[in-house]
């Protein structure tokens, strides 16, 4: 075969590829979800971009569930739920920029690192996009409202208090925090609150482990600290990976009853450990309601229903929610125990 015919064939195949791509794309045109329209045709459709810290983990999936519920109820919402699957805050900023260009009406951000997304959020606001935060807050000048379920302060203190209560206030001994990466902004902000709280109690913080978002490593690190510190009485698992990992380690090393585990995770992930007694309390909030409330706030802001200076906000099935300053409050953190954990499914 001469080079010439090969070239011709090459061009032919390229053309085929190109048409295949074109066909493939246009074929998908029909399957693109159309916005959910309410009965009222005059109602303006509001596009809301809901940005989680990490897409693809159970915590945010349950938030998205609540958000979809609210969008269906309201009827005039086109909900976009997307976020970085690896939790890279840089990609969060890039998604905010893309959404701004594409004319999204409201962007609700759960910033994984507030500094990193700040510039993108400011730019979005300058372009007339309503920017709010949910789940975690950013600097006040980068968003209008924060749908607040818990501050770093209340999360950090909540975990330490639960541990002290469950152990008995006079109990003395070592505790260890199993975190995520050494660079995880959220976990580090909670640790900053937890350290003084632990210092002011009878507990002693032996060390902090950083297994990353790696389940095997979280399990291994927890096993090691259980063996290393004989006076260990408590483990804090402060990410949705390290909490189950720490609980599993306590069960596998046969320390259930001797080492108590607490932390942040969804009830569904922790049910089996609560029922086996390894974990007595799980600290979290109602994540489904959090997503639900966020969409209600977003809709009200976009349609001008949100009154400046109001002290309450009515959000569908949740009823009236308090507004303090620029924070819409979901309510206190929840503590799931043996008695109530089965009432929740998320």
What are the distances in angstroms from CA 308 to CA 43, 304, 326? 22, 10, 9
Q: Give the burial string for 43-59 (b: 16+ CB within 10 Å, else e).
A: eeebbbbbbbbbbebeb
Q: Is 208 in the site for another protein (CB under 8 A)?
A: yes
Q: How deeply is 129 buried, as exposed, middle or buried, from its count of CB atoms within 10 A (0-12, 13-18, 19+)?
A: buried
Give the nearest distance from C-beta 313 to another protein in angstroms.
28
Q: Is 276 in the site for another protein (CB under 8 A)?
A: no
With contact defined as beta carbons under 8 Å apart, do 178 and 235 qualify? yes
CA distance 115 to 99: 19
Give the nearest distance from C-beta 195 to another protein in angstroms.
9
Place of tokens 């389940």: 215
Would you say 3 or 324 has its CB closer to another protein? 3
Site string for another protein, 300-339 (x = CB under 8 A): ----------------------------------------
Q: Which of residues 117-176 bind another protein (CB under 8 A)?
A: 118-119, 123
Segment contacting another protein (CB under 8 A): 37-45, 100-108, 149-157, 329-337? Answer: 100-108
Length of the chain: 346
Q: Which of residues 213-232 bind another protein (CB under 8 A)?
A: 213-217, 219-221, 223-225, 227-228
- For residue 263, the cross-strand partners are 237, 282
Segment contacting another protein (CB under 8 A): 85-93, 140-148, 158-166, 331-339? Answer: 85-93
With contact defined as beta carbons under 8 Å apart, do 157 and 170 qualify? no
Segment contacting another protein (CB under 8 A): 114-122, 292-300, 323-331, 333-341? Answer: 114-122
Give the nearest distance from C-beta 14 to another protein in angstroms.
6
Residue selected from 46, 57, 155, 274 as contacting another protein according to rule CB under 8 A: 57
Site string for another protein, 234-273 (x = CB under 8 A): -------x--xx-xx---xx--------------xx--xx
- For residue 174, the cross-strand partners are 204, 232
Segment contacting another protein (CB under 8 A): 38-46, 53-61, 279-287, 293-301? Answer: 53-61
Cα of 39 vs its chain's centroid, Å: 32
Q: Is 185 in the site for another protein (CB under 8 A)?
A: yes
- For residue 205, the cross-strand partners are 175
Total of residues contacting another protein (CB under 8 A): 85
Residue selected from 73, 97, 157, 166 as contacting another protein according to rule CB under 8 A: 97
The neighbour count for residue 93, using CB atoms within 10 Å, is 23
Phi, psi of 312 (to 5 degrees): -135, 160
């Amino acid at each position: 075969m001469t080079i010439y015919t090969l070239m011709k064939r090459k061009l032919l195949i390229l053309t085929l590829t190109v048409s295949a791509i074109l066909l493939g794309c246009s074929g998908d045109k029909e399957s693109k979800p159309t916005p959910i329209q309410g009965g009222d045709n005059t109602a303006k459709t509001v596009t809301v971009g809901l940005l989680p810290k990490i897409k693809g983990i159970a915590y945010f999936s349950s938030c998205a569930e609540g958000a979809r519920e609210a969008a269906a109820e309201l009827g005039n919402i086109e909900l976009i739920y997307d976020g970085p699957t690896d939790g890279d805050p840089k990609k969060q900023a890039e998604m905010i920029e893309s959404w701004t260009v594409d004319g999204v009406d409201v962007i609700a951000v759960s910033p994984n690192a507030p500094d990193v997304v700040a510039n993108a959020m400011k730019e979005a606001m300058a372009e007339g996009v309503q920017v709010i935060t949910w789940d975690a807050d950013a600097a006040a000048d980068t968003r209008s409202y924060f749908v607040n379920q818990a501050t770093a302060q209340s999360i950090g203190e909540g975990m330490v208090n639960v541990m002290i209560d469950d152990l008995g206030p006079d109990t003395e001994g070592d505790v260890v925090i199993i975190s995520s990466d050494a660079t995880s902004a959220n976990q580090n902000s909670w640790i900053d609150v937890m350290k003084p709280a632990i210092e002011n109690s009878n507990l002693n913080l032996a060390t902090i482990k950083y297994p990353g978002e790696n389940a095997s490593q979280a399990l291994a690190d927890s096993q090691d600290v259980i063996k290393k510190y004989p006076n260990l009485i408590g483990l804090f698992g402060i990410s949705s990976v390290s909490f189950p990992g720490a609980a599993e380690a306590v069960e596998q090393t046969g320390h259930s009853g001797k080492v108590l585990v607490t932390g942040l995770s969804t009830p569904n992930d922790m049910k089996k450990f609560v029922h086996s007694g390894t974990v007595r309390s799980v600290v979290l909030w109602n994540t489904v309601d959090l997503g639900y409330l966020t969409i209600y706030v977003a809709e009200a802001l976009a349609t001008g229903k949100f009154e400046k200076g109001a002290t309450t906000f009515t959000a569908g099935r949740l009823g009236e929610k308090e507004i303090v300053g620029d924070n819409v409050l979901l309510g206190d953190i929840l503590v799931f125990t043996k008695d109530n954990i089965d009432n929740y499914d998320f």
